[in-house]
Structure 1
Amino acid sequence: MANVITATGALGRTARARDALGGWMPFIVIAPSVVASFIYVFVFTAWTLYVSMSNSSLLPTYGFVGLKPYFELWSNQRWSIAYGNLFFFSAFYVILSLAVGLALAIAIDQRVKGEAFWRTIFLYPLAVSFIVTGTVWSWLYSPNAGIEFLVRNLGWHDFTFRLTTSKSTAIFAIIATGVWQSSGFAMALFLAGLRSVDPDLVRAAQIDGAGPARIYRKVILPSIAPIFVAVAVVLLQFAIKTFDLVVALTGGGPGISTTFPAIYVYDLMFQRGQIAIGAAAAIMMLLALAVVLVPYALWTTWRARRGAAHG
């Protein structure tokens, strides 16, 4: 009898240990990634912030100089041009990607023949990296191998198509290429949103005599407004971090006309050996991301709480 009781107790302890381990297992599994993410995001961000207020040059040093690197950064004409280019590019890139993506989504939403084929075609650019996209489009913009070369060989010898060689048009070449790359992403999310709209709302509007344009404007598009915000936020993140697309297309030129903050950070840190100013530029990019992400996070939290309060 004593042996039976001892065995039963051992089995009970084993079961409790197994249950406890099962309860802790999810935390054990995700702990390494959480720790790595914390170090990667918060620790390195704090380190970069401190370096941005140090007298670092070729190698990091830790002599504190306050905001001097930031003043030097903003007094540099190239940084002002880079930040201005970022705002200009972001505005056109986001608006045009949203517009083209929405137009494609509405067209496909009409249950067109070969819908799966068209979805694949429009989504294909999303599967290609920005560096590949930039390289291919740089060939298309090249006067010696691209569209200009092709059209001239067809007989139009006065035709010119040199967007990337002119300071006034190079940034528009980057915008057009970026829109081509990202409009399929916007289309996919918009199409999912259009397909999720309650059909009863559409039928009610049709019964009231509303035409297709009015139905989209008054019923469908307001219903997918959160998707507009989400897509715009993601596209703004793409825009702020733009680096490889510009490097492949123009290299920041002609001159410094298409310099972007990410390119300037790389140049300061790895070409000129000005680590403190480069870190300051990186912090400014982080602030630009925060301006986008923090309001979006607050808005989504407010929306979730509002939805919970209304059942």
Structure 2
Amino acid sequence: MKKFALIGAGGYIAPRHMKAIKAVGGDLLVACDRNDSVGVLDSHFPDAHFFTEFERFDGHIDSLRRRGERIDYVSICSPNYLHDSHIRFGLRAGSDVICEKPLVLHPRNLDELAEIEADTGRRINTILQLRLHPIIQDLKAKVAQSNRRHTVDLTYIASRGRWYHASWKGDEQKSGGVATNIGVHFFDMLAYVFGTLQSQTAHLRDPERAGGFLCYEKADVRWFLSVDREDLPESVRHQKSTYRSITIDGKELEFSEGFTDLHTGSYEAILNGQGNGIADVRSSIEVVAAFRTLPIVSTGEIHPIVVDRRGLMS
């Protein structure tokens, strides 16, 4: 039985990791979060030790190691800006790491983490769950067999309340901004399906939304991301808080379902030695990092929602 520790047990995504750990037959020995609203542990690992102070969490893991009870995996669900530090901790504690997206905020950290991997002999794994979605896998196979260039429109609106901007998620220095916080797994999926990125343009960047244009080997992609409920289409605004749409060559790709067990699939792959590591995540981290500094331009293929929001945009 593999032994796990969890950093960020009070976070939104942490229950999916707890479920995945249990599903793969693992045991969560210890968890940490500065907030103590972690009753969800009772549904998965009620006997797990829990700490609100990282120093005590660190000490507990070190005590386990000294008794010969090494933690096999440290799972990380902490705020984005802490991922780099927590990954380093896990590696130096003698554990492999499983980290939520985005792995880090800056590409330079990937090179430093690769050096620590080499020094410690441990491995970093990240969650790139869209790669496991059957619809995306089928799309990748079809694109690989096609010689044509595709036109893609990506829209993702995950409406959030006022709390969002008061939390670390609303602070670009901590979250990386909207494109990083809610979009990085989509950018990974686009490169996974359509190949190497050739160029990108930024059309919109503010605290609530982001949009731009990406040119991949096999596709041109207009994209728009938002956390503002006012961007939801009228047809769904009063029924749903989230809207996903991907059209390829004018045809809607239906993949609104099938997301619930993708973390479990990710854990299964990791335990089988087939997880996604630093090399896999580099493209998406470079895209979102570059987007944060690109000049905003109003020419080129602009997403219709961006046009509507800006009135475009003279």
TM superposition score normalised by structure 1: 0.21
Q: State the structure with more CA Rg.
A: 1
User: Which structure has greater helix proportion?
Assistant: 1
Higher strand share: 2
Identify the structure with bigger relative contact order (alpha carbons < 8 Å, sequence gap 6+). Answer: 1
Normalised to the residue count of structure 2, the TM-score between the two structures is 0.20
